[in-house]
Every structure is written in C-alpha cells, then in structure tokens.
Amino acid sequence: MRSRAAPLVSRRAGLTLCCLAAGALAGLLAGAVAAEAPDAVSLSPAEAEHAPRVVASGTTPEPVRALLDGCDPADYEGQDLVTVFDSVDVRVEESGLSYRRHHTLHKVLTPAGARARAALRFDYDPASNQIAIERIRVHRGDSSFIALDPARAVDVTAPAHMIYWGARMKVLALPRLEVGDAVEVETEMMGFQIAYLLQVDEDLERFIPPMRGHFYDTILFQGHWPIERIHYRLELPREKLAQYSVYNGEVYSALTYTDSTLVYRWWMKDQPPVADEPRAPDWSDFVPKVVLATVPDWPAKSRWFQQVNEPVFEWNAEIAAQVEELTAGCETTEEELAALLHWVADNIRYSGLNMGEGEGYTLHPGIMTWEDRCGVCKDIAGMLVTMLRAAGYETYPAMTMAGARVERIPADQFNHCVVAVRHADGSYTMLDPTWAPQSADIWSHYEGEQHYVIGSPEGEGLDAIRSFAPDENRLDVRFETAVDAAGDLTGEVTLSGAGAADTRLRGNMTYRTRYARDALATAILAPISPAVEVLEAHFGDYTDYSRPMRYRFRFRVPRYAAVNDSVCDLLLPSARFLKGNPRFVRSVEVPAVPDRSQPALFWATALAEVEETLQLPGRFAAATALPAQSLTRPAARFEARSEIEGSALRVFQEIALEKRTVPASEWHGVVEVADSLGSFAATRVHLTR
C-alpha cells in the first residue's frame, strides 16, 4: 500500500509531483543555472568525513528568489514547510520504458520544518528502476546558495517489515537549515516502481514494464504540506494514446503534440495540505487526482495478468495428497472451498522473500510456496489457486485494492491479490486467504465494497464485492447481573458474533497465552469498573470455524452500588461495558473532529445488541423504567429501552454503524449517536425503599 511518508505521490512510480507549467519553469531555471560559474569549496578532512560536500556556491537565481520571496510565512500559519513547486516530467518510449525527471523546491517555515528536511531519502527497487540524484541546492535566507555533491548520498538497504524484496534507498544529510532556507532537488528515475515479471535479455530490458508497450500512473495533487505550484507533464509517442480522468476535484489540463509525440499536462496552484483526520481512508479516495493509462480496457489487463501467472499453478504429489485429505468428508462445494481456504490461511505465513526474477505482482509457483510455507498476499493466493486446481476447480488469481477505490481507467490501482473460483454457470466465488486466518468467513467482511479484476483467459471487467449489512457483522452480548444488600455486583456475560464481530472475537485470542487470556477478560470488563474481578473466563475454540466464537465470563465488583437503608444508586453495567469497548464496535468511540473534510473509513458495518437482566436488592424495587432513547442518523443509530419484571430491571440496547465508509457530511451523525450512548451509559439507576 502507498506510504504517506512523501508529501505528494505519483502512486505507480512512488514519486512526488510538480509545479509551474513545466516547460516555462524548466527553461527559466535551466537558463539561470547555466549563467552561473560555481566556485569549488574545500573542506577539512574531518568535515569531509562527517559533513555534506559543498561543490559550488553563489547567489540564488532571481527566478528562484522571486518564488521564495512570494511564499510569506504569514500565509501558512501552523505549517512547518511549504512546497514552492513540485514538478514531474515523464518521457515514455515505444517499449513503455519511462524516464521521470522530478524537480522540487521546499521552503522551511519553522524549526520543526528544518528538522523534517535534515536528510533526504530516495527509495528505489534495483530490480525494476534506478534513480540518479542530479542536483541538490540549499538556498539560504540571505539569497545565497550552496550546491551539494550528490555522490555523498549513502546507498543502503531500505527498512523492511514482512516483505524482503531487496528495496534500497539513497540517503543524503543536509547542512543545518534555518527558518527561511529552502531545499531544491532534482532527480531522474528510469524504469517502473512495482516489480512484475522480469525477463532480462539486455541491460535496459529489466526497466521496461511487464505489460510491455504500456504506461499508467495515478497522480495525487495534494500532500502533507501546502503546495504553491504543482505540475505533471507526460510525453508519449504520437501513436500511443493515453486515456485519463480527473477525480475528487478540478485539475487544469492541456494536450499538445509534435510530429512524433503527444504531450499531456496537468497542473494546480495553491493547494492546502491534507488535513490529518483520524480514520481517513487512502488519500486517493478524496484528494484531487488524475488516473491515466495507455491500456485500452480492463479485459486487456485481465488477460495479461492471467497469461503471466498461468505457468505457476502446477502441483506435486504432496500437494495432491493434502488436498485429498482436506476435502475427504466434505459434502458440498462450499465445504470444500472453506476447507482449502482455511488450511492455506492458517498454514502459509505472511512473509515476503525475494525469489529473484519475477518478484512483484508475479505469483510464486505453488510448489515453491508449499515448500517455503510463506509468502505475501499474491503467493498465499497462488497457493490456494494451486490447491483448488488440484481439487478440480476452475480458479484464477484476481487483483484488488484493500482500503481504497479503483477507478474506471485501467491503470494499476491494486495492492492486494485474491482468488476467484468460476462455477459452471459462469458466476464466481471470491476467496481471500490472506485475510482469513482466525476468521470463519471465506471473504472478510472488512473487505466489503472492494473493487477487483479477475485474471481470466477471456478477460474480465472491473467488479466489486457487495456491501455487508450491519446485521451480518452482529455482536450479541447477554448480561445476567445482581446487586446485593451490600452493594456488591455479581454477574455473568456471554459474547458471540457473526461476520466481522466473530473475526474480532477470534483475533483477540491469537497468540495469547492462558495468562494473557485472563488479562484480556479483565480488559474487556474493566469499563464496568476498574475494581472488576474476573472469577471465571471461558473462551471458545477460535480454530473451529463451524460454529460462532463465544466468550463467557463470571465476575464481581465489590461495592459497585451505593446502598443504604433507603437508597440504592448505580450505573448500568451493560451500558458501561458497551461504551467502553470500541474494540467490538468502532463507532461507539469516535475522535473529536468538529469540521471533518474527509470521509471516515471504519472498514466494516456493525451491529451490537446488548441485553441485561439486573436483579435489584430485595428491599428495593424500580417504580418506573429508565427513560428510553432513540436516535437515527444516515450512518448510525442507537436505541435503548428498559422494563420492570418483578424485582429485576431488564435493559435492551442496540447500536449500529450503517456504512463502511462514512461521508464527511454524515460524520456529525455518528458523533451524535456515540454521544447518545455515552449519555445512556452515564444514566444512574436510582432506587428508593
């Protein structure tokens, strides 16, 4: 998935974007630079060993100075940096080989901004691209500049977690920056960012994208910091047409041509930074963007994906024997699919090892994954495809995007790989083994509304998983509680769920020791009272996917209620439990964002139904039930009511999150529902004799 470390991202190439109408800016700055006569600066041996090497100095060119002087810090209150310009110029050859020149200028506004630019980092993948740092300049506030030697950049292995494919980075420390300084950087990258199928026949062959002859990109026009000018220029051979579309706002565009090329340009000015709002979806869902591709349609992409991966699904005798053992006794297709899915999910560990040529979106051979017992999503999916084919099913890998939309333009907008099983009537069943560990579902309910493209010989279009209703992600909680004459609370609670709720209950158990499970029980009940004592805790078998997961706890809270001869006063245990457990229903606790500008991604709809039967002390009786509450908003709702049954108070609560992704315009409704629950949880049961 795309990292948010860079201020503005060209998603296919992982590079930041651009600025002024590129031709004008490039010519202006190139002319100014050519007129200078840089003076060499010598450093002491100690400085040369530990400090950046200055290779030139002089006066900042007037065009650059004018741009910097035009960025008044007063216009960027609360910001640490401003992107003065960010420009990308891409030239694509007939083969699809691309050369990407990237030119940026950032001005420091605060000491924190100076620290943020203390060092520069340039990521690349030697299997599919190479990057050259062409020029780095520090423009001082006194109108002078120093040019640094790009050769001082250290080329090292990039940090990695769970995926170890040999990514590298070039890192260069900068001299101490002060407020008012600016950093200008020019780089050139050749190749493509994502490693697909590689067939190295000559030096440049490995930099040509695997879908040979094609180019695609997704360009985001906002970033972490305000951007004054941003520009993206794409030059293609005259015969290679690109289709594109603009999303989430308006972007200026132009198309010109020469005898041999087409030149596309997109640009914007005065872009604010992306607000840091909790539960925000992927930036591509809401910031202005351009999606472009020379690929004609999704079926073409589908056929290509099937063709490059088709050779990897062979199986051996060991795999066939395992498949036969797993499916023995299964009476239906659904049972066989589930048996194979869960075996792969629970036995193939997520860990990406580099197999060399072919790494990236190309799936590892099934036999290799069987032997390694590890891989990333594409390899785990490939293992399931292999086993399903060994069982006689027609099945294919599919590309999907977890956590963001895929637009209609057939650009590479995917970060995940899943499995499609085709039935005799032409319909498909979608399976995701990567998200299935400790989940009873064959497709995670956290992946509702997710777009995908199946790789098939005929070619498939863009499709999407259906939405999941709140009732399909239901949590059922049942309390049986009692308060005695001393005010001590005792009780038993059971929890069970379906869909995402069941997955959450199972996931809580993963890798926990017996003692850690006891601590989990205490943490779940702690919202009732910090003094809660867990007397007994029973957890179901989280590896048994044939029945819902179930928790059962017995507990007590000494002196929970305030009791004397005439009064009994307490808070409802079930309401406090529900309000204090966002681990089960994420919308019960929402961050305070007064004026949200972005959608909120909760990943799954949810429904929690909580019932409590509270036995009151014998000498007290509730004369009336608690006031009922009912609040319904477009994205969420809450209801609470109670009734008297002899000496018992029965309480019913229901809270629902109706939408996986909540539009910004409906955020206040979710907050109101959470506040309504909070109000009910704070309602005191006050009894008199």
Q: Which residues contact 470 (CB under 8 A, 6 or more apart)?
A: 605, 606, 607, 656, 657, 658
Q: Taking 70 as the threshold, does the pLDDT of residue 2 lie above it? A: no
- Bridge partners of 269? 229
Q: Which two tokens stand for residue 79?
A: 């910001």
- Residues 56 and 200: beta-carbon distance below 8 Å: no
Q: How many residues does the chain have?
A: 689
- Bridge partners of 289? 220, 247
Q: Which residues contact 356 (CB under 8 A, 6 or more apart)?
A: none
- Residues 292 and 409: beta-carbon distance below 8 Å: yes
- In 3-state terms the chain splits into helix, strand, coil percentages (rounded to 5) of 25, 35, 45
CA distances from 176 to 115, 138, 193 (A): 9, 10, 31
159 CB-contact burial (10 Å; exposed 0-12 / middle 13-18 / buried 19+): exposed
pLDDT score recorded for residue 44: 58
Give the amino acid at 479.
F
Note the pTM of the prediction, 2 decimals: 0.87
Q: What is the largest CA-CA distance in the chain?
A: 98
Q: Which two tokens stand for residue 107?
A: 């001005």
pLDDT tens digit sequence for 65-118: 999 999 999 999 999 999 999 999 999 999 999 999 999 999 999 999 999 999
266 CB-contact burial (10 Å; exposed 0-12 / middle 13-18 / buried 19+): buried
Confidence tier at 216 by pLDDT (50, 70, 90):
very high
The bridge status of strand 81-92 relative to strand 227-237 is parallel
Q: Which two tokens stand for residue 104?
A: 């940026």
Cα 540 to chain centroid, rounded: 31
Q: Which two tokens stand for residue 671?
A: 């907050």
Mean pLDDT of 502-526: 91
Q: Taking 60 as the threshold, does the pLDDT of residue 650 lie above it? A: yes
676 CB-contact burial (10 Å; exposed 0-12 / middle 13-18 / buried 19+): buried
Q: Which two tokens stand for residue 143?
A: 């109108």
Q: For residue 451, give the 3-state DSSP assignment.
A: strand
Confidence tier at 14 by pLDDT (50, 70, 90):
very low
First to last CA, the chain: 62
**What angle, 0 to 180 degrees and rounded to 10, lies between the N-to-C axes of helices 333-347 and 377-390?**
140
Mean pLDDT of 524-538: 97
Q: Which residues contact 310 (CB under 8 A, 6 or more apart)?
A: none
pLDDT score recorded for residue 358: 52
Closest residue by Cα to residue 525 from 476, 480, 581: 581
Confidence tier at 203 by pLDDT (50, 70, 90):
low
pLDDT tens digit sequence for 24-56: 444 434 334 433 434 445 555 645 554 689 999
The bridge status of strand 489-497 relative to strand 129-139 is unpaired
Q: How far apart are CA 529 and CA 570, in angstroms?
A: 11
Q: Taking 90 as the threshold, does the pLDDT of residue 3 lie above it? A: no
- Residues 3 and 91: beta-carbon distance below 8 Å: no
HSE (side-chain half, CA atoms, 13 Å) at 201: 4
| Ordered structural domains, the chain, with CATH | 22-294 (2.60.40.3140), 301-464 (3.10.620.30), 471-688 (2.60.120.1130)
Q: Which two tokens stand for residue 611?
A: 């019932």
pLDDT tens digit sequence for 105-162: 999 999 999 999 999 999 998 878 899 999 999 999 999 999 999 999 999 999 988 8
